[in-house]
Structure 1
Amino acid sequence: MEDFINKLYRNHSLIYKGLLFLCTTFLIVYLFPKSGKFKYNFEKGKPWQSEVLLAPFNFAIQKSDEEIALEKKTIEDNSILYFVLDNTVETEVKKQYKQQFKTAFPDSLLKRTSTNLYKVGEEILSEFYAFGVLSESYDFNEGRAIAILDNRVKKQDGFFSDLVKQDEVTSIINTILQKQGLTQYKTNFASLFFDVVKPNLVYDKSFTEKGFQEELNKIAYARGNVEKGTLIISKGEVVDNEQYQILKSLQSEYESQVWSKSNYNWILFAYTLLVSLALLMLLLFLRKYRDEVFENNTKVTFIFFNVFLMIFITTLIVNYNSKFVYVVPICILPLIFKAFFDARLGLFAHVITVLLLGFIVPNSYEYMFLQIIAGIVTILTVSELYKRANLFISVGQITSIYIIAYFAFFIIHEGSIDTINWEMFIWFVLSGLATLFVQPLIYAYEKIFGLVSDVSLLELSDTNSKLLKELSNKAPGTFHHSLNVANLAEASANEIGANAMLARVGALYHDIGKMKNPTYFIENQSTAINPHDELSSKESARIITGHVIDGIEIAKRNNLPDRVIDFIRTHHGTSVVYYFYMKEKNDFDDVDKTDFSYPGPKPFSKETAILMMCDSVEAASKSLKDPTSTKIDAFVENIIDKQIEGGQFLNANITFKEIQSIKKVLKHKLANIYHLRIEYPE
């Protein structure tokens, strides 16, 4: 049992990666659409590229979305409008009319005229209440059918034009009076009916919508059937509208039949295989080409988390409305990976993510082509992400690539630009703008995952930072030495294509451990007194080598990132404090070399190897007397060759060719630093 536990402990890193791999796979598969995939690709107006297709089973031909929409519009236009009748209103109105008629007309009228006018008034009222008077104005088509309900029972049918609207009262009065030749009394009648006429119809919205819904439910979503074995389309035949609808119907029926309970587990298993295969390729890439990333569980978790996050966000958008799928800024992914790792890893992870998204998005080939091309452009164009202008330029290029590629695809599909959807260009622009969110996202990731990007390195390179100010106050000579080394390291890194910003920052902080005992280092000794004169060689060597451990402790107290602390650990590797070692050797025969050696480890990256070379050359260059170009060349060659012989660069992925390039830079820089000046006359 104890052996088993020990074995688990030894392999806990691999076990964690396995669990992370499984969890990510299952989560991604869970997000996938719950349907099978039709095995044929087809487009309207394009030749059928597959074999002759016969109907594999009986299926109904579904109506197109346009046909369904037209039927719904027709039903809506012809649906009955229901109005509720208040049958007490007409009786009340006629009663009031009888009472107020005499007050509306003068008593001087002849009785026959008065009787005639009274009958005309009754005719007007009959016209008003033949169907009814509306309580308010409604924006319905005049030809819409209506039904009048009296106590929920249909009393009368007609059309909306039959109903009297509030603004039609005056015109009806004038029409009847003109017909009777009594237009001189229109003011009297208008005044009378203004007070008397009341609406008796109210629109019943709920009853109308219920009837409309009942008609909608009667819509048949299929038109005709295709029998099993019927020829659907032959190879090379152009897909016309009818065939396209039949193929869409077959696709829908096929996917619904495939995703049945009996086949659910098999299809789920197939999805799991494909997703796990893609994620396995990502893990194998890390294992083979980015071993330092693979060994760091936090970094592996970070990579898998971002892949899953992009798939999750895209799934949400597609489920909401697939037309917004290009708004998701997928190009943030390679930007983030490039900021924290490198371009090659960023592009590989981006391609894997886009391949997985092909299962989710519509028009998957077009989508994958656009996103992969955009990702490649992102990787090729964005350098020095900490410079804001570079990010804006890259966003402009990404947006342009989206627009150009979509434009080309549309012409291929449609043959012209007459029906192009210009709205898509808005989504591409929004996607580009959303890519700018990468800056705050990088900052958040740095805090959450403890990673370091070039943006943070730029902040750390500020010589006004608290720690570097403390170094300049306590150990001014060391601070000046660090600035010189930083300039040399940056130039050397640029020469061989290494991370110049990382090399510079590492150089600025590599000697902060000297703040603990600054006067024990010669660059900080401003007087002729040397404290090493009172110490033994071993004690002096212990203080000198101790600045590495002291530097690591100071860096951790000040929350410097591990990438910077690595420079403090490795800038002397396992080299020997040669001066005190030889001094001890002169005094004693039996000397243990480890007492005079730095604790290591040796440099394990190009940047840390560059720092070791630049640090040694800059420090030793102070001892040059009467420097000449020949002396400087021999001096640089001698120091770096000794480091190579000592095996200091065995763990760093740096080539001899790159070391030669660094030597060349150092010789050139030192020659400029120690150039001779003419002697000015007094």
Structure 2
Amino acid sequence: MKDFINKLYRNHSLIYKGLLFICTTFLIVYLFPKSGKFKYNFEKGKPWQSENLYAPFNFAIKKTNEEIASEKISITNNSILYFNVDSAIETKVTNTFEAQFKNTFTDSISENDLGDLLKTGHKIIKELYRFGILTEDYDFSDSQVIALLENRVEKEKVLFSNLIKQDEVVSVIEKVLSNQNLLKYKNKFVSLFFDLVEPNLEYDKSTTDKVLQEELDKIAYAQGSVEKGTLIISKGEVIEGDKYQILKSLQSEYESQVWTKSNYNWILFAYILLVALALLMLLLFLRKYRPDVFENNTKVTFIFFNILLMVFISTMVINYNSKYIYVVPICILPLVLKAFFDARLGMFAHVITVLLLGFVVPNSYEYMFLQIIAGIVTILTVSELYKRANLFISVGQITLIYIVAYFAFFVIHEGTVETIEWQTFIWFILCGLATLFVQPLIYIYEKIFGLVSDVSLLELSDTNSKLLKELSNIAPGTFHHSLNVANLAEASANEIGANAMLIRVGALYHDIGKMKSPTYFTENQSTGINPHDELLAKESAKIIIDHVIDGIEIARKNNLPDRVIDFIRTHHGTSMVYYFYKKEKEQNKDVDESDFTYPGPKPFSKETAILMMCDSVEAASKSLKEPTSSKIDTFVENIINKQIEEGQFLNANITFKEIQSIKKVLKHKLANIYHLRIEYPE
């Protein structure tokens, strides 16, 4: 049992990665739709590339979206509008008219004429309320069919033009009086009816909408069916018209049918296999080409988290409305991974993510082509993310690539630009703007995962920062030495393609441990007094060696990132404080070498190896007397060759060719520092 626990402990890192791999796989599969997927790819207007296709089961031929939309518009335009009739108002108006008639028309009018006028008034009322008077002016077509409801029962159907608007009452009165040759009484009738007439028709929107919805619900979404075994399309036949619609119907049937439990389990198992395979490729890539990242569980978690986040956001957008899929800023993924790791890893993870999203997005080939091309442009254009101008220029180029590629795909599919959906270009622009969020996102990730990007390195390289200010005040000689080393290391890094920003920051902070005992280091001894003269060689060596440990403590206290602390730990490797070792050897032949050796570790990257070379060369160059080009060449060769012989660079992935290039840079830079000219032969 104890052996088993020890074995688990020794392999805890691999066990964690295994659990992370399994959890990520299941979470991604959980987000995916669990329907079948049509195994054929086809495009309208293109030949059918596969073998003859026969119907695998009975299915309905669905109408196109345009046909359904046209039917809905037709039903909506021809729908009946419902108005409620208040029949009591006509009776009320009639009674009021009879009561006020005698007050309006004087006794000077004969009885016969009064009788005619009274009858005419009743005719006006009948004419006004024949179909009804509207309560307000409605903006409907005159040819619109209207159903009149009395006590919720349909009374009759009329055209909207037959209904009387309130501003048409006078014209109706005038028309009736004209027919009766009584126009001379127009003013009195108008005055009388002005206060009497009340509207009795009110638009019943709820009933109208309800009936319209019932009609819309009756729309048939299919137009015929295909029997099992029927030939749908032959190989080489052009996909157009009814053939295209039948294929789309079959594809929709595959993706929407309700599967049995057995089918569902098989589909789920297949999704798990494919997602696991994709993520496994990523893990194998990290193990083979990025072992330092693979060994760091935090970094592996960070990469898997970002892939899962992109899949989650994309699936949520697709579930809401798939037309917004291009708003999701997928290119943030390669930007973030490039900022924290490198371009190759960023591109590999981006491709894996796009392949995973190909399962859920519509037009998967088009989507994957666009996103992979955009990812390549992202990697190629963003060189220095900490420069804001670079990011804006890159986002502009990414957006342009999206637009151009989408335009090309649309023309290929449709053969025309007349029906292009210009609003899609707005989604691409919004995607570009969303990509700019990468800057604050990188800052958030740095705080959560403890990683460091070039943006943070730029901040750390500021010599006015608190820690570097303190170094310049306490140990000015060391500060000046660090600046010189930074310049040499940056030039060397640029020569062989290493991370120049990282190595510059590492060089600036590599000797901060000397702040604890600044006067014990020659570059800070301005008075000519050397405190080592009063110490034993072993004690002096301990003080010199301890500046590495002290530097690590100071760095951690000031929250410097681990990538920078690595330079403090490794800049002397496992080399020896040779001066004091030799001094001790002169007095005592039996010397323990470990007392005079730095604890290490040895440099384990190109950047830390470069710093070790530059630090040793710059420090030792101060001892050169009457330097010449040949002296400097020999001097640089001796120092770096000695480090190679001691095996200081065995753990660093740096080649002899790169070391030769660094030697060349150091020789050239030192010659410039000492203002040397080329020595011509006499």
TM-score, normalized by length of structure 1?
Answer: 0.96
Which runs of 5 or more residues in structure 1 are unaligned?
Answer: 678-682
The corresponding residue for 1:517 is 517
Counterpart check, 1:431 vs 2:431: yes
The corresponding residue for 2:680 is none
Which stretch shows the higher mean deviation, 511-520 or 60-69?
60-69
Say if 2:34 and 2:267, in contact at 8 Å, map to a contact too: no
Say if 1:83 and 1:147, in contact at 8 Å, map to a contact too: yes
Provide the C-alpha distance between the structure 2 equivalents of 1:651 and 1:149, rounded to a whole number of angstroms.
Answer: 92
The corresponding residue for 1:540 is 540
The corresponding residue for 2:414 is 414
1:302-336 deviation digits (Å, cap 9, x = unpaired): 10111111111111111222121111111111110
- Mapping 1:174-573, distance limit 5 Å: 174-257=174-257, 259-573=259-573
Provide the C-alpha distance between the structure 2 equivalents of 1:585 and 1:185, rounded to a whole number of angstroms.
Answer: 140
Provide the C-alpha distance between the structure 2 equivalents of 1:84 and 1:638, rounded to a whole number of angstroms.
Answer: 106
Which stretch shows the higher mean deviation, 366-375 or 167-176?
167-176
Say if 2:48 and 2:237, in contact at 8 Å, map to a contact too: yes
1:584-628 deviation digits (Å, cap 9, x = unpaired): 111111111111000100000111111101100010000000011
Q: Which amino acid aligns with 1:338?
A: K
Summarize the Cα distance change of 1:333–1:149 in structure 2 as closer, same or farther, 3 Å threshold: same
Provide the C-alpha distance between the structure 2 equivalents of 1:255 and 1:315, rounded to a whole number of angstroms.
Answer: 16
The corresponding residue for 2:14 is 14
Provide the C-alpha distance between the structure 2 equivalents of 1:139 and 1:645, rounded to a whole number of angstroms.
Answer: 95
Counterpart check, 1:587 vs 2:587: yes
Provide the C-alpha distance between the structure 2 equivalents of 1:460 and 1:211, rounded to a whole number of angstroms.
Answer: 70
The alpha-carbon deviation at position 258 of structure 1 amounts to 6.9
Say if 2:34 and 2:268, in contact at 8 Å, map to a contact too: no
The alpha-carbon deviation at position 376 of structure 1 amounts to 0.6
Say if 1:402 and 1:428, in contact at 8 Å, map to a contact too: yes
Say if 1:36 and 1:258, in contact at 8 Å, map to a contact too: no
The alpha-carbon deviation at position 397 of structure 1 amounts to 1.1
1:422-459 deviation digits (Å, cap 9, x = unpaired): 22222112211211111111011101111000000000
Counterpart check, 1:133 vs 2:126: no
Q: Which amino acid aligns with 1:554?
A: I
Provide the C-alpha distance between the structure 2 equivalents of 1:610 and 1:451, rounded to a whole number of angstroms.
Answer: 22
The alpha-carbon deviation at position 107 of structure 1 amounts to 5.0
The corresponding residue for 2:596 is 596
1:33-73 deviation digits (Å, cap 9, x = unpaired): 23210112222222212111222222222222222222222
SS in 2 for 1:237: coil
The alpha-carbon deviation at position 176 of structure 1 amounts to 2.7
SS in 1 for 2:155: strand
1:442-477 deviation digits (Å, cap 9, x = unpaired): 011101111000000000000010000110111011
Provide the C-alpha distance between the structure 2 equivalents of 1:615 and 1:301, rounded to a whole number of angstroms.
Answer: 35
Say if 1:306 and 1:333, in contact at 8 Å, map to a contact too: yes
Say if 2:47 and 2:239, in contact at 8 Å, map to a contact too: yes
Say if 1:78 and 1:144, in contact at 8 Å, map to a contact too: yes
Say if 1:602 and 1:648, in contact at 8 Å, map to a contact too: yes
Provide the C-alpha distance between the structure 1 equivalents of 2:492 and 2:177, rounded to a whole number of angstroms.
Answer: 105
The alpha-carbon deviation at position 147 of structure 1 amounts to 2.7
SS in 1 for 2:126: helix
Q: Which amino acid aligns with 1:63?
A: K
Provide the C-alpha distance between the structure 1 equivalents of 2:267 and 2:597, rounded to a whole number of angstroms.
Answer: 62
Which runs of 5 or more residues in structure 2 are unaligned?
Answer: 678-682
The corresponding residue for 1:5 is 5
The alpha-carbon deviation at position 119 of structure 1 amounts to 2.2
Provide the C-alpha distance between the structure 1 equivalents of 2:107 and 2:245, rounded to a whole number of angstroms.
Answer: 78
Provide the C-alpha distance between the structure 2 equivalents of 1:676 and 1:428, rounded to a whole number of angstroms.
Answer: 57
Counterpart check, 1:87 vs 2:96: no
Which stretch shows the higher mean deviation, 449-458 or 385-394?
385-394
Please tell me the root mean square deviation across aligned C-alpha atoms, in Å: 1.6
Number of residue equivalences: 677
Say if 1:463 and 1:469, in contact at 8 Å, map to a contact too: yes
Which stretch shows the higher mean deviation, 511-520 or 424-433?
424-433
Say if 1:58 and 1:228, in contact at 8 Å, map to a contact too: yes
Say if 1:58 and 1:227, in contact at 8 Å, map to a contact too: yes
SS in 2 for 1:223: strand
Provide the C-alpha distance between the structure 2 equivalents of 1:111 and 1:319, rounded to a whole number of angstroms.
Answer: 81
Which stretch shows the higher mean deviation, 201-210 or 321-330?
201-210
The alpha-carbon deviation at position 225 of structure 1 amounts to 1.9
Identity of aligned residues (%): 79
SS in 2 for 1:312: helix
Say if 1:134 and 1:164, in contact at 8 Å, map to a contact too: yes
The corresponding residue for 1:620 is 620
Say if 1:333 and 1:350, in contact at 8 Å, map to a contact too: yes
1:483-533 deviation digits (Å, cap 9, x = unpaired): 111111111111110000000000000000000000000111111211101
Summarize the Cα distance change of 1:167–1:540 in structure 2 as closer, same or farther, 3 Å threshold: same
The alpha-carbon deviation at position 132 of structure 1 amounts to 1.9
The corresponding residue for 1:680 is none
Q: Which amino acid aligns with 2:498?
A: A
The alpha-carbon deviation at position 109 of structure 1 amounts to 4.0
The alpha-carbon deviation at position 136 of structure 1 amounts to 2.2
Which stretch shows the higher mean deviation, 464-473 or 122-131?
122-131
The alpha-carbon deviation at position 139 of structure 1 amounts to 2.5
Summarize the Cα distance change of 1:108–1:657 in structure 2 as closer, same or farther, 3 Å threshold: farther
The alpha-carbon deviation at position 676 of structure 1 amounts to 5.3
Say if 1:34 and 1:259, in contact at 8 Å, map to a contact too: no
Provide the C-alpha distance between the structure 2 equivalents of 1:129 and 1:613, rounded to a whole number of angstroms.
Answer: 105
The corresponding residue for 1:667 is 667
TM-score, normalized by length of structure 2?
Answer: 0.96
Which stretch shows the higher mean deviation, 598-607 or 167-176?
167-176
- Mapping 1:108-119, distance limit 5 Å: 108-119=108-119
Provide the C-alpha distance between the structure 2 equivalents of 1:661 and 1:199, rounded to a whole number of angstroms.
Answer: 98
Summarize the Cα distance change of 1:534–1:54 in structure 2 as closer, same or farther, 3 Å threshold: same
Which stretch shows the higher mean deviation, 92-101 or 652-661?
92-101
Which stretch shows the higher mean deviation, 190-199 or 544-553?
190-199
1:346-394 deviation digits (Å, cap 9, x = unpaired): 0000000001111111111111111101111111111111111111111
